[in-house]
Structure 1
Amino acid sequence: MEVGTTVKNQPRADYISSIVEAGTAACRLYGPTKTNVVDIARLLGKSPASVYKIFPSKAAIWDAIAGNFFETDLRFTPSADGELTSAASRLKETALGQHRLMLQARHGDGQMFDLVVLAAEGNWPSFRDHLKRLEAHVRELVCAGIATEEFVPRNVDAAASCFCASIISLWDPRIIGALPWSHCELSAHELASFAVAALRPSSPGVESMAAE
């Protein structure tokens, strides 16, 4: 039954991917505010009505396009030897690596960056899912750091949330979009180092957080 269902739904899944791919191409050509469903349908060689049979609204299409961009171009991949380094180093690498991906999108893929800014401003599901993935990865690294005694035992969920909140300026496209073009990564490096240091045993306020 499951196999039959998968085969039956495959054409629909393929068409969804085709719409997202065409929507991404249209967004890069015309920009997210000027692109419409007619443009996407034309690139597909289909009618707008056929696109709306898959997505109920233009907003749903845009959210799917943004979601795909978050998952592909804006999904940070740790270095291959990451398991050999400390949890603190991996946490810092994640913070700065994700920041670099955002900067690269802003400087090299402006139309798509404008789309993810819209996703952040509108609190679209794609943006919320993106932040949830980042926080889940941070949570794993905090757990690893506690296990190796790099970090003080504490409420892991609270620690991960606080870490992400403290460096959100490195990850939020709205804030990054407002940065001057001459922005240097030095301040980002200092911020990430400061946030990681807050998890270490010698950090001020450890006792109060550990008690939560």
Structure 2
Amino acid sequence: MMEISKTVRLRPRAEYVSRIIEAGTAACRHYGPSKTNVADIARLLGKSPASVYKIFPSKAALWDAIAGSFLETTLRVPPLAIGEGCDAASCLEEAALGQHRLMSEARDGDRQMFSLVVLAADGCWPSFMRHLKDLQADVGRLIRAGITSEEFAPVRVDVAAPCFCASVVSLWDPRLIGASSSAHRISAHALVSFAVAGLRKHPGCRNDLDEHIRLDEGPT
């Protein structure tokens, strides 16, 4: 009974949090992240700024929540289902290119929110760091599936996943996407294909990734 009562009490708060984030997103799109303030958001809600600060103790916390919601709902490819007999390499390519497509679409079609994400990346906001962690976890899951299906060489997933993410960072990091030009640039497909190829099993070849891991660890 106590747990049910607690859930009932928390529901209005959760709903108000969602409303604040929705209003904050709308204000950011209208005014831009640098010109939006808490008063603008409160006005859209028909509330006072004090009521917003009761939920978010600072403007920084509110902006982080708005960025986090956008990253989660708009700028992350839904995890692909991996089943028996799946082509993990193709799934990994699709996920990597899909992530790049979402970032590019936001850059070109939702500039104000994209600017907020750039601020989140520059400031290493918790929302952006969580976003990177989630992407790495998705990549790790696909690599693990590829190892199981023997498409990929047996490597340490906890090392291979961040290595893969680092190799395609120019496609995923909003700061790099926003600053890139189309001239003299490797295509996204070529870069992703190259990164995926490094994970594949190659007959007669030793496991270079694990060998580099051992060398990086140094003497014990």
TM-score range, shorter chain: over 0.9
Instruction: Please name the residue that 2:194 is paired with.
Output: 194
* In structure 1, distance between residues paired with 2:203 and 2:122: 34
Name 1:4's counterpart in structure 2: 5
RMSD over aligned CA atoms reads 2.1
1:15 aligned counterpart, secondary structure = helix
Is 1:74 aligned to residue 54 of structure 2? no
Report the residue type matching 2:39 in the other structure.
V
Moved over 4 A (4+): 82-85, 182-186, 203-206
**Residue in structure 1 matched with residue 207 of structure 2 by the alignment:** 207
Alignment of 1:53-72 (within 5 A): 53-72=54-73
- What is the TM-score when the length of structure 2 is the normalising length? 0.89
**1:100 and 1:107 mapped to 2: Cα distance?**
11
Q: How does 1:130-209 map to 2 (within 5 A)?
A: 130-180=131-181, 182=182, 187-202=187-202, 206-209=206-209
Q: Distance in 1 between matches of 2:163 and 2:203?
A: 14
- The alpha carbon displacement at 1:184 in A equals 9.7
Percent of counterpart pairs with the same letter? 64
Structure with larger Rg: 2
What's the CA shift for 1:75?
1.7
Cα pair 2:79 2:138 within 8 Å, conserved: no
Match of 1:26?
Answer: 27
Instruction: State TM-score, norm by structure 1.
Output: 0.93
Partner of 2:89: 88
**Paired residues, what number?**
210
**Aligned mates of 1:52, 1:116 — CA distance in 2:** 22
Kindly tell me: are residues 7 and 155 of structure 1, through their superposed partners in 2, closer, same or farther at Cα, counting changes over 3 Å? Answer: same
Structure 2 runs not aligned, ≥5 long: 214-220
CA 1:8–1:172 in 2, change beyond 3 Å: closer, same or farther? same
